[in-house]
Chains A and B, each alone.
Chain A
Amino acid sequence: MYRIIKARLKQGYNTSRFPQVEPVLPPLFMGRPEVDAGACRGDCRDCMDACPVGAISRKGETLSMDLGKCLFCGECARICTSGAISFSRDYRMATSGRQDLSTDAWKLATALDAKARSVFGHSLKLRQVSAGGCNACEADVNVLNTLTFDLSRFGIQFVASPRHADGVLVTGPVTKNMEVALMKTMAAIPSPKFVVAVGSCAISGGIFQGNEEVCGGVEGMLPVDLYIPGCPPNPWTILDGLLRMVGQIGDRKKGR
């Protein structure tokens, strides 16, 4: 017992003060990409050809990036000679709508409506389903339970039984072999229920889009309430997204 208390003192207090205090991210961290349409020469396709997942397209005159597909490999920014694409250090990337993930229609996630917030704002239980995830998204969701992030202080918990859950958090491109299990889990969750798609695989199929072995993400299968892009998203990106959805950060509570 004495040893345990002594170790406790040595380990110290390590829980972050997020969201009051901003997280520290490594210097090379690649956050939300930004497209400077004005800087784009418009006469080459280098970035589009370099992108392994076809996340970049030209909509009329505007170059646009789909964060729902982006792997954050940075090839586009490296290859662009006119500096039209850059990756910011902004870790906040979650959105409420699929279309909001495009750089030309970028919009951060908004909170659930007032009634939903009154029920789920301080108590949200999620069932996580890995449907072909590579264990990176799973690891960075799981890490929210460690004492650095301490997810439960926000009233958010991952539960074992779908019967106890208010929603499902999906990772992976939804393999054909996991389709039934995912849909059964979803069906076992009592309504009203939420769907959170974490990672480019769950949102669009990611690097696996087009493989006959996968469904290509949850889009069209489940009604998604929160999209958290990345490959994998940084834990802060995931936490920020979840807190925005339940209204614990965001416009509604400015200054928090």
Chain B
Amino acid sequence: MSTLTLRNGQKASFSQVPEYPFAEFADLFKSFITQGFSVSSYFGVPSGDGLMLLAVLTNRNQGNLALFRTRIEKTFPSLTPEIPQVHWFEREIAEQYGVVPERHPWLKPIRFHKSYNGSLDAWNRADEAIEPCVTDYFRVQGPEVHQVAVGPVHAGIIEPGHFRFQCHGEKVFHLEIELGYQHRGIERAILRAPLGKAIHLIQTLAGDTTIGHTTAWARNLESLSDTVIPARAHAIRGIALELERIANHTGDLGALAGDVGFLPTASYCGRLRGDYLNMTGSVCGNRFGRNLVRPGGVTQDIAAELAADLNKRASTTWKLTENAVDLLWSTSSVLGRFRGTGAVSSEDAVRAGLVGVAARACGLNIDVRSDLPWGIYQTHAVPSVILFSGDVHARAVIRYLESRHSVQFLKEELKMLPDTPTFQSTGALEGDSIVVSLVEGWRGEICHVALTGADGNLSHYKITDPSFHNWFGLALALRDQQISDFPLCNKSFNLSYCGHDL
């Protein structure tokens, strides 16, 4: 049995994606997972009267993607019992298209919206019966066992979500995370919108990852229109992506310090994060990189003068960041709270399909920048940082060391920007095609899959934010922890609510 093998960002005719009866599809799926492939995306595409399921698996050893599909009716056997990392994908498929993966161990909605099929949903509910996070919850029973429910509105300036803890005193047996409050209908809106409008939906699908998501979107449209973008555009995208990473990692290190009551680093990093955002602001006018990346390249150049200025600012700001963050590693009260808290084993990380910082903290050597490099990363490698303890400490240290490599990368790039234009107009999209773009955003693997119809318009667009893979990792991290460790564990993952909810 074969699959369609694609490079990161390579397009193909959709008819080349082999289709199998479900039993063979399932066998193929399982054999790839046994070989160490990971699930980058797995989703439904309406097709005639039924539903097509499309699997996008990543083979990191060979640096390519394996695509294959099947067709299902109202029900299909769940793969979750054998492949735990598809549990969330199957819940998404069930919720969106009203189909039932049978034998799924915990089949619940993930976003709480009505079914796209226009009739009763997978739980036989009518549209008006669907309320956010009104669903079954896992219950631990016994003397003095109690539930703690938190959210959607949390005690801070943070996005909404619902957390349900099963506790015995301070000890957490289980945390269940229910999201969906941020659901804005982005994937369907993208298909309704002209491409010039759709980019704004992409920019705001996770506002702190604007460069990551716009890069994935732009690469898909460039591939579909056979556009080769200039080298300088690749470099500027790389610089912006690393700035996004450093800014968020620095902010997270400050927030982690704040969550253990260590205020010096919390204060300094809060400000320093702003300095990195302001560097992005100097490149394009907006601190979050809005309107910088477009299909065809980038809208703003980094002239020699600005490059020199950014280089200087990167050095100064990074020195201050080291000064602020190094305090963490020399303060025993901080280390005492970081070490051993919220540990996830590497076996669990593999089974749950974690990505990004959270996965690398568990010893998984995965990073799209080195495994399936695109653009500037094909010629300029950024080292990944791998630690093994899987705890808050590992996630914090990785953020710090990754930022150091990113600063080094962008300083080098700023000194050797290729002498080319920064934009190349894109043409019409090729019809009946498929393309997958992976990008290593600051949280981890971003996956965008684009399908076009015969008319060359987008017929389906699937977005998988790294948070989609990782929310369950946070639930695992809380097992056997104290409930008071939740804010610290949560911040050490710092996942996106809106990127998950779409």
Contact = CB atoms under 8 A, between A and B. Distances in A.
Interface of A: 3-4, 7-8, 10-11, 14, 25-30, 50, 52-53, 71-75, 128-143, 145-148, 158, 160-161, 172-173, 175, 177-178, 180-181, 185, 201, 206-208, 211-214, 231-232, 234-235
Nearest to B300: A28
Contacts of A136: 204, 207-208, 210, 288
B103 interface: no
B184 A208 contact: yes
A146 B204 contact: no
B282 A27 contact: yes
Contacts of B196: 50, 52, 75
Given A134-B207, A135-B206, A11 B182 contact: no
Contacts of A161: 155
The 10 closest A-B pairs by CB, nearest first: A136-B207, A28-B285, A134-B207, A160-B155, A213-B185, A146-B270, A177-B132, A52-B197, A134-B204, A26-B281
18 contacts: A7-B264, A133-B182, A134-B207, A135-B159, A135-B206, A135-B498, A138-B159, A139-B208, A143-B270, A145-B270, A146-B267, A160-B156, A177-B183, A181-B181, A211-B185, A212-B185, A213-B184, A214-B185
A25 to B, nearest CB: 8
A26 B278 contact: yes
B276 to A, nearest CB: 12
Contact of B207 (A4, A14, A135): A135
B498 A132 contact: yes
Contacts, number: 170
A74 B294 CA distance: 14
A138 B183 CA distance: 16
Interface string B39-76: 00000000000000000000000000000000000000
Contacts of A8: 264
B113 interface: yes
B145 interface: no
A134 B290 CA distance: 12
Contact of A138 (B157, B181, B284, B286): B157
A214 B204 CA distance: 14
Contact of A147 (B271, B288, B320): B271
B320 A134 contact: no
A124 to B, nearest CB: 15
A207 B197 contact: yes
A185 B153 CA distance: 8
B152 A29 contact: no
B492 interface: no
Contacts of A53: 197, 200
B180 A177 contact: yes
Contacts of A10: 320, 323
Given A145-B270, A148-B274, A213 B183 contact: yes
A87 B153 CA distance: 36
Given A28-B285, A214-B185, A139 B197 contact: no
Given A7-B324, A178-B182, A181-B181, 9 more contacts: A7-B323, A132-B184, A134-B208, A136-B208, A139-B288, A175-B183, A211-B184, A211-B185, A214-B184
Interface in B148-169: 152-153, 155-160
Given A134-B498, A136-B210, A172-B182, A4 B270 contact: no
B39 to A, nearest CB: 25
Given A26-B282, A28-B300, A177-B112, A135 B184 contact: no
